[in-house]
Structure 1
Amino acid sequence: MRSPMSGHRAYSPSIPDRLTRAAMTAAGSLPAPLLGLVGGTPRRLDGQVLDPHFQAGLRIISLMSEGEYQDLTVEQARLVLERSAYTVSGTKIDLAVVADMILPLGGTDTDRADLPARLYSPVDGEESLPVLVYFHGGGWVLGSVDSHDATCRYIAATGGLKVISVDYRLAPEFRFPTAAEDALAAFRYVRDNAEELGVDPRRIAVGGDSAGANLAAVVCQQTRDAGEKMPDFQLLFVPATNMSARTRSYELFGEGFFLTRENMDWYEETYIRSDSDRLDPRASPLLAEDFSGLPPAHVATGGFDPLRDEGEAYARKMADAGVPVSLRRHESLVHPFVNAVGASPRARSALSEAVGAMRMGLAY
């Protein structure tokens, strides 16, 4: 099962990238007063105060900006995201196993014969562990297993479980509903081949951030509707849940906090085929008619995030339908804090809290 990743091009950081990462990692341990020299006066909005590490980071990003994603070519935007994620990834966490692999999904469509993924495990051996099938963020257009490598290492190490990070196909080369179909097929493969993969078949979670959390939510809805075994838990970081409307958090945080309204407009327009797709629950899981019977969930939102309100609305919909849900708004954080494990203590704390919720949900 461990073979080179088909078609995957690993990101190769330059010397300036490495120096920037070292500086960001060092800044992650500095006290707030010193960070204020870089970030300036604390930003306050909607009764919240922006984390000084993220405020300083946003200042640095603005100085080094290569342009907004929507103003670049897709290839340029992908490179910029990989570089940005690398610079805040911190010191690499060592694990017993980090292995590229192929999920042989089969099917009649020849380009669905396999799907690249990466396995993270705190143990090297035959021990059966719980697993998190993880879908990276990036607006269904950007991102990769590399951009979220630090996040997955952190979750595997702190959670004592395996993580399988899925390199699903991206738009515009593959538009909606390809990413949703890939995510569903990847979960089904892990579920149906748990013994071979060395994972506990009773403890299979799905999760992701932003677009990846969207895909994880869709996997739960789709498996429930098909009457088959669902994931045992869903871990949703800053989920995108509704392409049909914009909320108050877009008005408050749609500019100046990393993810912008224009970014989201571009992501969605690149991913979907027509406006009718916006009403499809596979694109907008908040629009599903039924929220009952879904797996237990932990939903973590960022206070300074345009997606904050729709993520919290999704958590409330599940809770109102009787689904066990823990909802946590990290008031001082931006979108997507899960990548910044090397640059922000509060980002690490938020990840650790979510992992703890998942451990409780999976009962291990």
Structure 2
Amino acid sequence: MPLDRETEALLHWASSAPATPLWCLSPEEARNEYRRMLLKTEIAAPVIGEMSDLAVPGPDGPMRLRRYSPAKAGGTGGAILFIHGGGCVIGDIESHDVFCRTLCHDTAATVFSLDYRLAPEHQFPAAVEDSVAALEWLSQEATALGLDQERIAIAGDSAGGGLAAVALHETKGRLAAPVRAQVLIYPALDLRGRLPSRKDLADHFLLPQDMIQWFFGHYFGLAWPIADPRAIPALYDDYTGLPPALIVTAGHDPLRDEGAEYADTLAAAGVPVDYECCEGTIHGFMNMGRVLRKAHGHTRRRLAAWLRAKLYE
């Protein structure tokens, strides 16, 4: 399908803006520029009940988790661990604050956003280790937090979607209760770049090949782990027993086929899967609700309804 009108207008604006590409900046400069970009594209944050930051045990010392509590929890005790995107180099709790507030508001679940270690300061597998530790912590501490350990979901966008998928594999049989659901939003799942969308859309905004290579170079360093399933979830041996999945991709996203392939892999293993490709739009549209209203609004409603059904059924 062609680009929808809102996405086409955004690409025209982006192509005419005199901005330095993120991959031409240092990691710290890119982080700052990414936050500034989102200020222009994010929706206004909805009102929730309460927000607080927690320090929880991690593999390299305390990790920060931001807790978003709904105004009306309804006594369900549902919780969602959210892992942000940004290629494991940019992005943080602040960049995805509006996203998490919206997720909390729309699902009436308590959302925990993970501030995992970023590259190049902390290369692979630091982000994986932090994601695994956060999921284990939430599962073990849910009851003490006033939540239901049997009503936990995990979600992530882009690189965070890949980290969420890996965390589920790495914690199999180690949690207090099975995770109820997983939501992977345009997930990054295969660094090998072997699928058609990575080639056909190699020059496409927001995630051209230069940006992907910049991310991988910082995160993986000189020796890319092309045989490690923690970097390529398609290499795990067993997909049975994983929680029901909602996988969302974008039609004009180089990562599109990775999400579609992973949906097929899960379904072949007997995992209930709902897959949706938002055909006319691009990678990152869930952080662009101010300018990509149609794609964002539709997917926001879809995510919330699906998660409410899985958490509270």
Q: TM-score, normalised by structure 1?
A: 0.81
Do the aligned partners of 2:58 and 2:133 also contact (CA within 8 Å) in 1?
A: no
**More displaced stretch, 323-332 vs 288-297:** 288-297
Q: Distance in 2 between matches of 1:217 and 1:246?
A: 19
Do the aligned partners of 1:220 and 1:230 also contact (CA within 8 Å) in 2?
A: no
1:360 corresponds to: 309
**More displaced stretch, 140-149 vs 349-358:** 349-358
Do the aligned partners of 1:243 and 1:279 also contact (CA within 8 Å) in 2?
A: no
Q: Which 4+ runs in 1 deviate beyond 3 A?
A: 124-128, 225-230, 273-276
2:188 maps to 1:240: yes
**Could you say if the C-alpha distance between residues 113 and 275 of structure 1 is closer, same or farther in structure 2, counting changes exceeding 3 Å?**
closer
Q: Distance in 2 between matches of 1:284 and 1:77?
A: 25
Do the aligned partners of 1:333 and 1:347 also contact (CA within 8 Å) in 2?
A: no
- The RMSD of aligned alpha carbons is 1.9
Deviation at 1:144, TM superposition (A): 0.7
CA deviation vs aligned residue, 1:35-60 (integer Å, no higher than 9, x gap): xxxxxxxxxxxxx1212222222222
2:259 corresponds to: 311
1:252 corresponds to: 200
After TM superposition, the structure 1 = structure 2 runs for residues 32-51 of structure 1, keeping only pairs within 5 Å, are 48-51=1-4
2:226 corresponds to: 278
Q: Distance in 1 between matches of 2:97 and 2:12?
A: 24
Aligned counterpart in structure 2 of residue 348 of structure 1, from 297, 307, 310: 297
**Could you say if the C-alpha distance between residues 228 and 126 of structure 1 is closer, same or farther in structure 2, counting changes exceeding 3 Å?**
closer
After TM superposition, the structure 1 = structure 2 runs for residues 163-312 of structure 1, keeping only pairs within 5 Å, are 163-224=111-172, 229-312=177-260
Aligned counterpart in structure 1 of residue 43 of structure 2, from 78, 90, 96: 90
Q: Distance in 1 between matches of 2:76 and 2:175?
A: 26
CA deviation vs aligned residue, 1:238-273 (integer Å, no higher than 9, x gap): 011111233211222221321111111111121114
Q: Distance in 2 between matches of 1:315 and 1:274?
A: 30
Counterpart residue type for residue 344 of structure 1 = L
Do the aligned partners of 1:139 and 1:211 also contact (CA within 8 Å) in 2?
A: yes
1:338 corresponds to: 286
| Identity across the alignment (%) | 34
Do the aligned partners of 2:139 and 2:176 also contact (CA within 8 Å) in 1?
A: no
**More displaced stretch, 244-253 vs 325-334:** 244-253
Q: Distance in 1 between matches of 2:77 and 2:291?
A: 29
Q: SS of 2:113's equivalent?
A: strand
Q: Distance in 2 between matches of 1:145 and 1:246?
A: 31
Do the aligned partners of 1:131 and 1:199 also contact (CA within 8 Å) in 2?
A: yes
2:25 maps to 1:72: yes
Deviation at 1:225, TM superposition (A): 6.3
Deviation at 1:125, TM superposition (A): 8.2
Q: SS of 2:67's equivalent?
A: strand
1:10 corresponds to: none
Deviation at 1:285, TM superposition (A): 0.6
Deviation at 1:98, TM superposition (A): 2.0
Deviation at 1:118, TM superposition (A): 1.3
**More displaced stretch, 271-280 vs 251-260:** 271-280
Q: SS of 1:139's equivalent?
A: coil
Deviation at 1:275, TM superposition (A): 3.8
Do the aligned partners of 1:126 and 1:198 also contact (CA within 8 Å) in 2?
A: no
Q: Distance in 2 between matches of 1:158 and 1:319?
A: 27
Deviation at 1:232, TM superposition (A): 1.7
Aligned counterpart in structure 2 of residue 328 of structure 1, from 276, 292, 298: 276
Q: Distance in 1 between matches of 2:148 and 2:91?
A: 28
Deviation at 1:274, TM superposition (A): 4.5
Q: Distance in 1 between matches of 2:209 and 2:301?
A: 28
Q: SS of 1:100's equivalent?
A: strand
**Could you say if the C-alpha distance between residues 123 and 344 of structure 1 is closer, same or farther in structure 2, counting changes exceeding 3 Å?**
same
**More displaced stretch, 246-255 vs 294-303:** 246-255
Aligned residues: 312
**Could you say if the C-alpha distance between residues 126 and 190 of structure 1 is closer, same or farther in structure 2, counting changes exceeding 3 Å?**
farther
Do the aligned partners of 2:4 and 2:280 also contact (CA within 8 Å) in 1?
A: yes
2:11 corresponds to: 58
1:32 corresponds to: none
Do the aligned partners of 1:203 and 1:232 also contact (CA within 8 Å) in 2?
A: yes
Q: Distance in 1 between matches of 2:189 and 2:58?
A: 29
Q: Distance in 2 between matches of 1:80 and 1:62?
A: 16
**Could you say if the C-alpha distance between residues 228 and 128 of structure 1 is closer, same or farther in structure 2, counting changes exceeding 3 Å?**
closer
Counterpart residue type for residue 164 of structure 1 = F
2:57 maps to 1:105: yes
